[in-house]
C-alpha cells in the first residue's frame, strides 16, 4: 500500500467504514470490554416511496476497525453488494459483489431525475395528482390535490414519493413506456451496461443495475445542480395549492436528518436511498471530509434499516 493511500485511509477511512456499517444487517466484533450505549428502539415506521422513515433511531456504538483492510476489518458486512470509489481517481477502495445485478428500488429515481432534466418541463407549472399517480406512496400528496412541478420534484427526490415522480412523468408529455425507453437510452449513452429500467419510481424489481454502474450514475447525477441541491435537503415543506398548511417532508437519507449521528455536514452528504422487498435496503451516497477527500459509497441489499453502527472520534 502506498504512503499516499495509507494517509488517505488513516484520515478518512474511519468514517468510511462507519458508513459501510450503517447499511449492514449485523456487524460482529471481538469483545473489547467497552460498554455499548443502546438508545430507544424506533417508533413504528412508515414507508414513503419504498423507503423507511422513523421518528427515533436505535444506535449501537461498537469499536470500529482502525484501518480498512482485510487484517483489520473484522466486521461481517451482510449487504449483498457494496462498492466504494474514490471520487477523484475512480480507484475502487472496497468492493463486494460489485458486478452483481440487483433491483435498484428508489435509487432508480436518480436516472428518472436525469431524464426529467432533459425534457422541457416548466417547474412553475401546476398539476393535479391523479388516482393513477398515487401508487405505493404515503399521504404526503393525495389524488385531487394540486402542486407545482417544482414541489413534486422535491418531494419525489427528498421524500422518495412515487406519486410525485409519476405525476412528473405524466406532465413531461411522455407515456410511462416512452419515459422508460428514455431512461434505457440514457443508460446506454452513459455506458451503464448492467442498467435496465421499466418504470420511473423503482417499485418494479425489474429496474436493475450493479453497484459499480450505480457509482457512475451517482457521479453523473450529482453533476446536475438541481439534483445535487435537492438531495442535500434534509427537511422540506410542500404546500398543496388551496390548502392552509404546508406539509413537512423528511429526507429518506438518515445522515441528512441526523437520525444517524455523524460528523458529516449537510454539504458533505448527497445521495439516494431505496427499498422494496426484492432489493433489501439500498443506499447510494457521495461523502466528503473537511479536507475535500470524497468517495462514493453504494450499498445494495442490506437486510435491515434499523440497526446502525456509529464510530465516534
Going by the annotation, the residues of the binding site for substrate are 272
Q: What's the sign of the alpha-carbon dihedral 205, 196, 136, 211?
A: positive
Known catalytic membership, residue 68: no
Catalytic one among 81, 96, 98, 109? 109
End-to-end CA distance of the chain: 24
Known catalytic membership, residue 112: no
- Cβ pair 196, 184 in contact under 8 A: yes
Q: Within 10 A of 148 (CB to CB), how many other CB atoms are there?
A: 17
Q: Within 10 A of 88 (CB to CB), how many other CB atoms are there?
A: 10
Catalytic one among 106, 138, 210, 262? 106
Let me know if 224 is exposed, middle or buried by CB neighbors in 10 A (0-12, 13-18, 19+).
middle
Catalytic one among 160, 172, 262, 279? 160
Known catalytic membership, residue 137: no
CA distances from 184 to 18, 121, 130, 181 (A): 34, 20, 26, 5
User: Known binding site: residues?
Assistant: 272
Catalytic residues: 106, 109, 160
Amino acid at each position: 500500500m502506498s504512503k499516499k493511500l495509507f494517509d488517505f485511509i488513516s484520515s478518512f477511512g474511519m468514517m468510511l467504514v462507519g458508513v459501510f456499517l450503517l447499511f449492514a444487517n449485523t456487524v460482529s466484533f471481538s469483545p473489547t470490554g467497552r460498554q455499548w450505549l443502546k438508545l430507544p428502539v424506533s417508533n413504528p415506521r412508515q414507508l414513503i416511496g419504498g423507503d423507511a422513515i422513523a421518528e427515533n433511531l436505535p444506535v449501537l456504538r461498537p469499536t470500529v476497525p482502525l484501518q480498512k483492510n482485510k487484517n483489520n476489518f473484522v466486521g461481517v458486512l451482510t449487504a449483498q453488494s457494496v462498492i466504494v470509489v474514490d471520487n477523484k481517481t475512480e480507484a475502487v477502495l472496497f468492493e463486494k459483489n460489485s458486478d452483481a445485478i440487483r433491483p435498484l428500488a428508489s435509487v432508480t429515481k436518480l436516472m428518472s431525475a436525469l431524464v426529467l432534466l432533459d425534457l422541457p418541463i416548466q417547474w412553475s407549472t401546476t398539476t393535479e395528482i391523479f388516482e393513477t399517480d398515487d401508487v405505493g406512496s404515503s399521504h404526503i400528496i393525495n389524488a385531487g390535490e394540486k402542486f407545482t412541478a417544482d414541489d413534486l420534484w422535491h418531494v419525489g427526490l427528498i421524500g422518495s414519493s412515487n406519486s410525485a415522480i409519476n405525476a412528473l412523468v405524466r406532465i413531461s408529455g411522455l407515456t410511462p413506456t416512452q419515459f422508460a425507453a428514455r431512461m434505457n437510452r440514457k443508460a446506454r449513452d452513459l455506458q451503464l451496461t448492467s442498467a435496465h429500467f421499466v418504470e420511473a419510481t423503482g417499485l418494479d424489481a425489474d429496474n436493475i443495475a450493479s453497484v459499480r454502474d450505480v457509482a457512475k450514475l451517482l457521479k453523473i447525477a450529482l453533476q446536475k445542480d438541481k439534483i445535487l441541491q435537492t438531495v442535500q435537503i434534509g427537511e422540506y415543506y410542500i404546500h398543496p395549492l388551496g390548502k392552509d398548511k404546508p406539509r413537512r417532508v423528511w429526507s429518506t437519507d438518515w445522515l441528512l436528518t441526523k437520525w444517524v449521528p455523524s460528523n458529516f455536514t449537510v454539504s458533505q452528504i448527497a445521495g439516494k436511498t431505496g427499498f422494496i422487498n426484492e432489493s433489501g435496503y439500498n443506499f447510494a451516497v457521495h461523502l466528503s471530509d473537511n479536507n475535500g477527500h470524497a468517495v462514493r459509497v453504494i450499498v445494495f441489499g442490506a437486510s435491515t434499516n434499523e440497526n446502525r453502527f456509529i464510530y465516534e472520534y
